[in-house]
Chains A and B, each alone.
Chain A
C-alpha cells in the first residue's frame, strides 16, 4: 500500500469561525483515503499552508502510509532549517491525523483501539458562547442558559474588549494584532461585569474558563486575572501573555490564584517541556491539528501524565479537530475536557456523513474505523476556495 498524494481542501464555510476550513486528504493506491485538518486563524496562513501541503505531497508519494512515526520525522526534518515548530508541524499534524485515519480504516478499528483501547466511554466537552450574540444583557443570559441547558458543565469565553482606535470598522487590535498588551480601566470593568453576569447566569456548578488569547503584558495580565477571580470566581485563566515568553508566564503565575492553562500555540512535545519542568501551567491544552497530530498529542499526554497535569485539547476549527482530539483522549487517563466551538455542533452536519453526538455535553465516538467520520466530498467540492 502506497500513498498517491496529499491534497489540501480549502473550503468556504459559515460553520468556521474564521469563514474557512483547511482539510487535508491523503490518498492511497488501494482506494483508502484518510482525512486531516489544519484550519488556522487567518486566510493568509491557510493559503500558505495549502502551498506547503502541495509541496509535501511530492515527498509523500510512494511512501507506506502505515509508517506514521517515520513519516512524521521525515517531514519534520525536511523543514528544520526554516523552523519546524510552526507551519511545518501544522502540515505534519494534518497528515499524521490522516495517516492514523487510514491505519484505522485498514485495520477496521477506531483509532483509539490502536492507541491502547478506551479508558472511558465518552469525552467530556467544554464549549463557547457565540459572543457575536452578546448585544444585550438578555441575549447574553439566553446564550449562557442555552449552553447550560445543553448539558455542558464548562464554558469558555474571552471577556476583554478590543482596544485601539477604529479604522474601516475595525479596532487597531483587530487589524494589526494586539500590540501594546495593555487594557483600560474601563475595559477591565466591562470584562469583570460580563464575567460576573455569566457566573451569575451559569451558577456555581459550571466551570468558567477565561481565554486571554496571549494578549497582555505582565502587569495587565495579573490585574485582569485578579479582577475576574473577584468578579466571577473563574476556574482557569488561559494564555495570559504572548506565548513567546515563559518568564512572563511565570511572573503572572506567581501573582494570581486562578489555574493557568497553556498550550494551543505549543508545537511539539519540546515546547511543553519547559512549561512542565518549570511548573508554569495547571492545564495543558495542545491543539491536535497544530501541535503535531495524533502521534504528538499522545506523547505530550504521556509527558503530562508524569507531571500529574490534565490534558485538555484545544479546538477552534472543524469536525476533524474535534474527533482527532477525542480519539486520543479516549486512551489518555489524565484528560480534563475537550474544547468545542459551540454547544450546538449541527453546523458541521453538511461537512460529514454522520452528525457528531455531543448530547449532554459529552462526545460519544462511534465505532466506525479510523476517525469515525467521513467527509462529504460533494459538499467540499461545491465550496472549495479557488
Chain B
C-alpha cells in the first residue's frame, strides 16, 4: 500500500479556518483524514503540507512513526508551530488509514479503551462567536454561562482575565474576583469552571494576583497564567498559589513537556493533538505526564476532525482528565461531516465504534464554506497607553 497524494480542504469557521488533511492511497476508496488548523496561519500551514508531501508520497502509510521521523528530520530546520501542525494533520490521517485497514477504531490500536465515556468541557455559548457577551455586564455574562451549561455540560472554560501588562491593576483584579464569584454562585458546585489566561499577564506577580482572585471559587484549573515555555517560572507560580494550573496548547515536543514534568510546573498538561505531532506525539507526552503524576486535558477549540482525533486518544489514555471542544463555533460544524462521532451524552462523548477515526468530511458541504480571511480578535489586545498586549 502506498500514499498517492495529500490534499487540504480549508473550511472557514469565522475566527479561524479549519484545515482538513486528506491522505490518499493506491487502494480504491481508502483515505485518511486529519486536521491541521492553526489560527491565522492558514496559507502557511497548507503550504507547509505541500512542502512535506514529497517526504511521504509513495510511502507505506502504516509506518507512522517512520514517516513522522522522515518529515521532522528530513526537514532539517526545526519545525515550529506551522511545520508541526502540518505534520500533525498528516499523522492523524495515517492513523485513520491504519484503523480503516484493520477494521477497528484508532483507540483499539492504542491499547484499548480505559474508560466508557470521555468527559468534555465547552466554551461560553459553545464558542459561538456571534453569541459572545462582554464580561463587563456580570449578570448577562452569568446568563450566558448558565445557558451554556443547560446545553448539556457540567464543565465550562471562560476567558475573563483582561489584557494585561507587568502589573495587575487592582480594579481589574477586583472585577475578576467579583465576576468569578458571580459565575460560581450562578452554576453552583456541580459545574467545573476553568479560566484561560491566554498568557496575558507579563509578570509572575500579575499572574498570581489574578489566580488568587479566582482561586476561592475552586476552579478545575487556571490555564496559561503566563506565556508558555518557561517551566521554572510556571512552577514558581504553582508553588505560590492555592489553585491547580494547566499549560501546553503552545508546547509541541515531548522535550518541552518533559521540562514541564520535571519542574512539576502544573497539575494538568494540555497538548493539542493538531500541533504536537498528533496521536503518536500525544501518546509520548501523555506517558511523560503520567510518570510525573500529571493529568492530560487535550486542547481543542478546533474543527470536527480534531475532535475525532482527540476522542480516540482520550478513550485510550490513562491519565486523560477532560476534553476541550467548541462545537458551536459555527452552525456548519457537523453539517460538513458525512460521518460524525462526537455524540454528547451526560456531559461526555461516547467512545466511537467506526473503524479509523470515525469521521468523514462531506467535501460538497465543506465547499460551501471556503477560505475567508479570518476575523482576528487579537487585534483588540491593546492596553490603554497604546502598548500591544498578549492576546
Contact = CB atoms under 8 A, between A and B. Distances in A.
A67 B285 CA distance: 21
A306 B111 contact: no
A69 B262 CA distance: 24
Nearest to B256: A306
Interface in B288-343: 288, 290-292, 316, 318
B255 interface: yes
Interface stretch (B28-36, B61-69, B157-165): B61-69
A298 B63 contact: no
Interface residues of A, number: 35
Contacts of A108: 102
B104 A107 contact: yes
B69 A306 contact: no
B65 to A, nearest CB: 4
Nearest to A109: B102
A64 B284 CA distance: 25
Interface in A72-112: 72-73, 103, 107-109
A299 B289 CA distance: 10
B72 to A, nearest CB: 10
Given A306-B255, A307-B258, A69 B114 contact: yes
Interface in B103-120: 104, 108-114
A68 B110 CA distance: 9
A300 B284 CA distance: 9
Given A303-B287, A303-B288, A118 B66 contact: yes
Nearest to B108: A66
Contacts of B63: 117-119
Given A303-B258, A305-B254, A269 B108 contact: no
Contact of A68 (B60, B67, B111): B111
A303 B291 contact: yes
A9 interface: no
B62 A113 contact: yes
A119 B288 contact: no
A67 B64 contact: no
Contacts of B16: none
B123 interface: no
| Best-surrounded residue of B62, B65, B69 (most CB of chain A within 10 A) | B65
A157 to B, nearest CB: 32
Contacts of B114: 67, 69-70, 73
A302 B110 CA distance: 14
B265 interface: no
Contacts of A302: 254, 283-285, 287-288
Contacts of A114: 109
B254 A273 contact: no
B197 interface: no
Nearest to B293: A270
A306 B102 contact: no
B64 to A, nearest CB: 5
Interface string B249-280: 00001110110001000000000000000001
A333 interface: yes
A23 interface: no
A254 interface: no
Interface string A339-370: 00000000000000000000000000000000
A305 B69 CA distance: 13
A66 B290 contact: no
Nearest to A65: B112
B108 A116 contact: no
B292 A333 contact: no
A299 B290 contact: yes
A272 interface: yes
A295 interface: yes
Contacts of B254: 302, 305-306
Interface string A255-274: 00000000000000110110
B341 to A, nearest CB: 18
Nearest to B113: A67
Interface in A98-152: 103, 107-109, 113-119
| Best-surrounded residue of B60, B69, B262, B287 (most CB of chain A within 10 A) | B287
Contacts of B284: 302, 305-306
| Best-surrounded residue of B255, B257, B288 (most CB of chain A within 10 A) | B288
Contact of B262 (A73, A113, A117, A277): A277
Nearest to B279: A116
Contacts of B257: 306
A112 to B, nearest CB: 9
Contacts of B69: 119, 333
Interface in A264-304: 269-270, 272-273, 277, 295, 298-300, 302-303
A377 to B, nearest CB: 27
Interface in A140-193: none
A103 B108 CA distance: 9
A331 interface: yes
B287 A73 contact: no
Interface of A: 64, 66-70, 72-73, 103, 107-109, 113-119, 269-270, 272-273, 277, 295, 298-300, 302-303, 305-307, 331, 333
15 contacts: A68-B111, A69-B318, A73-B114, A109-B102, A113-B62, A117-B60, A118-B63, A119-B63, A119-B69, A272-B291, A302-B287, A303-B291, A306-B253, A306-B255, A331-B65
